[in-house]
Amino acid sequence: MFKELCRKAFTRSLWVYHANAGACNGCDIEVIDVLTPYYDAERFGIRLVGSPRHADVILLSGPVTRQAAPALKRLLDAVPDPKLVVAVGSCAAGGGSWFDTYATTGGANETIHVDYFIPGCPPRPEAILYALAVAMGLVPKKAAPEHWQQETLEELAAGITHLKRA
Amino acid sequence: MLLSKLREALICVQAGRVTLPYPYAPHDPPPGFRGKLALDADRCIGCGGCAAVCPSGVILIRDDKPMVRTLHFALARCTYCGRCSDVCPEGALSHTLQFETATNTIDDLVMTIDVFMGPCQRCGRCFPPPTAMDQLPIRGFRMDSECCRVGADMPAPDAAATWAAAHSAPPGGVRTLTP
């Protein structure tokens, strides 16, 4: 039901609050790029707002540091439901290079529920735009888990191949 | 006042449309862009050089089963630094131009490969072919150590001794900063 509500409520216009939870500012610069006339996120109704109380979407950058984690939780409480959390950059998506350090919690996923992940260090502005387009249902999702398996000697002898050869 | 506004309007009209049609039309990154990792499963020998150099600890190596080594790529925290593809002795890892990796589940950003390995006859552990291991120092197994790079001036064997002799305290005197 929440999903259905999200689909109906979010297809119109996303108001975005940009939160930095310990990012190096690289992802933040790319978020600003998305709002320039060249990439122009505003044509989808995406707007940057100055308060989490006005927002539908939290664009979160940074590996959530231990200092920022309680503040981030309070920020999420201030956002009215239904809300989306988009983790921008490798740090927010999975901790980045700081996934196991003492000062970070290792990605936003450890602290809060994240709806969309955008890996990249920083992600291209197109990648951020793509994630928002996926969230709005404009384009299909392309990422999928991949698995390969090499043949053992017995399988090779039996003529079995697992690998897709081009 | 009005004239300046008109001039501004003229500039805007002359510029035309600058906005990319991106999500509806593809916009490929320039060649050389480091996007999502691609793995040539035929070439991987399971040496683990990529896991050794990865600054984000993306690559996890497990020897769960006999004769099979599993490489697990948690690509959510991949920073696309390109060290793994630099260090791969067989050229199995490469970066594609794919940047559209945004997803709603972190499980989509997982890549695994089961590499068939030669196990040791005595202990049963997997090992990569010795020839490939021999290649690693040649191809720059640790890219951040100067002396191991290809073409770098290798320090002479007695370089350390020479350095120590040049910088050691003069006998019987107090070592000062200014010579």
pLDDT tens per residue across span B121-141? 676 666 655 555 554 554 333
Asked if A38's CB is within 8 angstroms of B57's CB, the reply is no
Task: Give the global pTM.
Answer: 0.74
Report helix, strand or coil for A35: coil
- Give the percent of chain B with pLDDT over 70: 65
Q: B101: domain CATH number?
A: 3.30.70.3270
Fold observed for domain A2-158: Rossmann fold (3.40.50)
Structural domain count, chain B? 1
Lowest-confidence pick of A30-34, B77-81, B156-160: B156-160
Asked if A133's CB is within 8 angstroms of B23's CB, the reply is yes
Continuous segment of H or E residues that includes residue A130: helix A125-135
Query: Taking CA atoms, what residue in B is nearest to A149?
Result: B114
Query: Taking CA atoms, what residue in A is nearest to B82?
Result: A121
Asked if B23's CB is within 8 angstroms of A150's CB, the reply is no
CA distance A109 to chain B (A): 9
Lowest-confidence pick of A57-71, A98-112, B115-129: B115-129
- Asked whether residue B87 is assigned to any structural domain, the reply reads yes
Contacts of A31 (CB under 8 A, 6+ apart): A18, A59, A61, A88, A128
Type of residue numbered B28 = D
What pLDDT is recorded for position A155?
73
Question: B residues 71-100 near A, CB within 8 Å?
Answer: 74-81, 98-100
- Asked whether residue B42 is assigned to any structural domain, the reply reads yes
Q: Residue B20: count other Cβ atoms within 10 Å of its Cβ.
A: 16
Mean pLDDT value of segment B39-43:
84
What pLDDT is recorded for position A133?
87
Confidence of residue B143 (pLDDT cuts 50, 70, 90): very low
| B159 dihedral zone (left: phi>0; alpha: psi -120 to 50; beta) | alpha
- Cα distance between residue A44 and residue A15, in whole Å: 10
**Closest Cα partner for A128 from B107, B71, B23, B61?**
B23
CA distance A87 to chain B (A): 10
Give phi and psi for A39, each to the nearest 5.
-95, -35
Contacts of A120 (CB under 8 A, 6+ apart): A89, A90, A127, B80, B99, B101
| Residue B99 near residue A126, CB atoms below 8 Å | yes
Structure tokens at A85: 């959390």
pLDDT at A7 over 70: no
- Cα distance between residue A32 and residue B103, in whole Å: 21
Please tell me whether the interface predicted TM-score (ipTM) of this complex is above 0.95: no
Continuous segment of H or E residues that includes residue A6: helix A2-10
Structure tokens at A142: 């392309």
- Asked whether residue B70 is assigned to any structural domain, the reply reads yes
Asked if B18's CB is within 8 angstroms of A141's CB, the reply is no
Query: Taking CA atoms, what residue in B is nearest to A139?
Result: B23
CA distance B55 to chain A (A): 6
Cα atoms in the 13 Å half-sphere on the side-chain side of A95: 19
What pLDDT is recorded for position B157?
41
Asked if A148's CB is within 8 angstroms of B113's CB, the reply is yes
Give residue B138's domain range: 29-144
What pLDDT is recorded for position B139?
39
